[in-house]
Amino acid sequence: MTGVEFNSEAVAALDEKIDGILDEADRMFLAMLAVPLFFYASRLANAWLEKWNEPDADRQRLPYQLLQVNALTIGIHLIAGLLLVAAYWW
């Protein structure tokens, strides 16, 4: 066999430890750890919209300030996806 070989006893022991920490219902709630990041991104987006709707807004610079919100949404999706995979795998 090529590649990495796993010690099945060590993997089984780790799986038992994880099962002791998290039961079935709690595993799916792991993905909810991304919710605080969502609220932060939502607050930034609402502040950006208020600036955009101002009559004297600098429309040349404001789109660049939205990049932070876009990066946060990417992070939210990445974290939620990884946590869902972790919950399913364990």
- 10 lies in a domain? no
- What does the alpha-carbon distance between residue 38 and residue 44 come to, in Å, rounded to a whole number? 10
Q: Grade residue 4 by pLDDT with cuts at 50, 70 and 90.
A: low
Query: What are 8-67's pLDDT values in tens digits?
Result: 777 777 777 666 665 666 666 766 777 888 898 899 999 999 998 999 888 888 888 889
- 69 lies in a domain? yes
Structural domain of residue 37, as residue ranges?
23-89
Identify the residue with better confidence: 21 or 87. Answer: 87
Question: Are 65 and 48 a contacting pair, CB within 8 Å?
Answer: yes
Query: What are 51-85's pLDDT values in tens digits?
Result: 989 998 888 888 888 899 999 999 888 988 888 88
Give 19-77 as a DSSP string.
HHH--HHHHHGGGGGGHHHHHHHHHHHHHHHHHHTSTT--TTTHHHHTHHHHHHHHHHH
pTM equals 0.59
- 7 lies in a domain? no
Q: What is the domain count for the chain?
A: 1
